[in-house]
Amino acid sequence: MIIRRMQVEGGFLDGLDLRFEPGLNVLIGGRGTGKSSVIELIRYALDIRGQSDDEDAKRSREQALSVLQDGQVTLALDDDANDLLVSRSANTEPEGLERGLSRPLIFSQKDVEAVGLSVRGRLNIVDLFSPDSTAQRAVERRRVTQVQSLTTEIRGLLREADEIAERLGGADSVRAELTRAEARAAEMSKTSQQLDQKQKQLDELAAQGAVLAVRADALRRALEAATGYRDGVAESQLFGFGLDEWPATGGTTDLLSPARAKLTQAEKHLDEAHTLLTAAIADIETAVKAVEREKAPLEEQARTIRRDVEGLKEGAGAAARQLANLREQVTQLDALKALRLQKIERAGRVQKQRSTVLDELDQQREERSAERQRVAQMLTNSLAPSVRVKIRQAAQLGEFIAAITNALRGSGLRYNELAPALASTMTPRELVEAVENANTAFISKTAKISGDRALRIATQLRTGGTEALIGIGLDDLADFELLDHADFKAMDELSVGQRCTVVLSILLQNPDRILIVDQPEDHLDNAFIAGTLIGAIRNRSSQGQLIFSTHNANIPVLGEAARVIRLESNGKRGFVLHAEPLDHPKSVAAITSIMEGGNEAFQKRASFYRRFSNE
């Protein structure tokens, strides 16, 4: 993309009509003439955030609004042979700014300083050299959301299985009591053939009643689930799927019309779902009543027979009731055992489904890291031997440590000690899978902690939920290093000027984006400007557009500027005094007078250089 023209109506730069060329464009002029204002209006018109903190972004916006006042800035752009016109007034959104437009990289001097020290900033610079990853980031977010949703489902199934296991805790004692009750019942049945016959009837009725009890229990669970589904649909019906009205500034065509139609159709399907669920609930309730009707006469018949048995032998009725009750309990326990297995099996299936998505997520992150490694190697080769770029894969642990710390709060564990130990020895996926599968041996061995602590960690995480952990991506770290004498030094060991040297050198290797820098020379010495920066500018100028504001004559002269733009001010308004090629007499005069300190000073320096360069 190329910025062809900039026009301003109103404010300090009212009437500005400025044309840019491909290659290097240099803004010169005294202080207060509007050099930085031009750059800030470009940033404002294209809605580009600052590279440093939010406070600086706020100041940039305030400066643009102060310059613009109630006026309007308009930019004419060339984007792959397409002509675009973007305009923006004070406190409005840009008009004509297309989504996906490759926007310029704009750096103030503070941005250049700060971005080198920022972990996120260095990684962002590396990512600038790769194709736009917006779509890939959206895919990654969808996968993370899917993984978190599946993890929630797994946690619910495992919790239900644990609750059933607690209910099954006394199953052995119930079975033992049933065995004893059956033995007593068998002994009593020997006293009378009639009692034996009655007992057989009771056994048959008890067996039938147990089956009906299982049916009733299953129907009640189904009724509860169906009612929950219907309530969920009813909640969705209450709020609907409406979208905000299409903004007036978005054009006359509502691009969301197809989506609105589909959402309306979805709401109709919700109505159908609610009707079907209500019908299903009615069917289940009918089945419940049928089972209760079938069970009532059996219970009445059993009571009658038990009274007869009690008449035959004292205590026989109590034993029969106990036996029937125990058999019913055992039947229900068997049903619960089967249900627990179903929950565990379903959790396993969901885990496999999640594993597939996690594999895709891991592959996507691996590919992104490999691309960053490629970019780092390319930059290192291009800037050798002075600058080196390295990528440490998945080395950012801060988010993972914070999530573990938060999950372990209130557990009584030393989470400030344990969180780094866990995060540095296993991935979020490994930790979550170990917690879900109760694999405390893995946690203990990998993190080198006791089995008791591993169990307490797993219990706390399983109870509190692992959704916040499973989606965390351990991002890479980008290291920028500068050769200082015989040693490479990291960014935090460098001076401000050295950091700017590294960042600007790297940025100038990217030919695909317009690079706009406000006074890059502030912390750079002339040796670096002439020896390193100028070479990078020359190489870069032939491939893309650069816009620099500067007070240093070396940049336009040695950088062979395509256009020199001299700004001037009368105190109330800034304006372009002239904008010409580098070799135009006006450009030569401006550089000589403004940047070289006047023609006499320039001539004296030239004579000095000639005299001593020949010795």
* 216: nearest Cα among 124, 271, 298: 298
Beta bridge partners of 489: 482
Q: What is the pLDDT of residue 294?
A: 84
Q: What is the pTM of this model?
A: 0.68
8, 14 Cβ separation under 8 angstroms: yes
- Tell me the mean pLDDT in the region 252-256: 82
Check whether 3 has a pLDDT greater than 80. yes
Check whether 443 has a pLDDT greater than 70. yes
DSSP 229-251: HHHHHHHHHHHTT--PPPPGGG-
- Nearest 5°: CA angle at 455, between 454 and 457? 65
For the beta sheet containing 72-79, the strands, ordered from the edge strand earlier in sequence to the opposite edge, are: 17-19, 2-9, 72-79, 82-89
Measured from the Cβ of residue 167, the count of other Cβ atoms closer than 10 Å reads 13
pLDDT, tens digit (0-9, with 9 covering 90-100), for 328-374 = 888 888 888 899 899 999 999 999 999 999 999 999 999 999 999 99
Burial of 280 (0-12, 13-18, 19+ CB in 10 A): middle
Measured from the Cβ of residue 70, the count of other Cβ atoms closer than 10 Å reads 11
Model confidence at 126, in pLDDT bands (50, 70, 90)?
very high
pLDDT, tens digit (0-9, with 9 covering 90-100), for 98-113 = 877 788 888 887 787 7
Model confidence at 311, in pLDDT bands (50, 70, 90)?
low
Q: What is the pLDDT of residue 91?
A: 82
Model confidence at 49, in pLDDT bands (50, 70, 90)?
confident
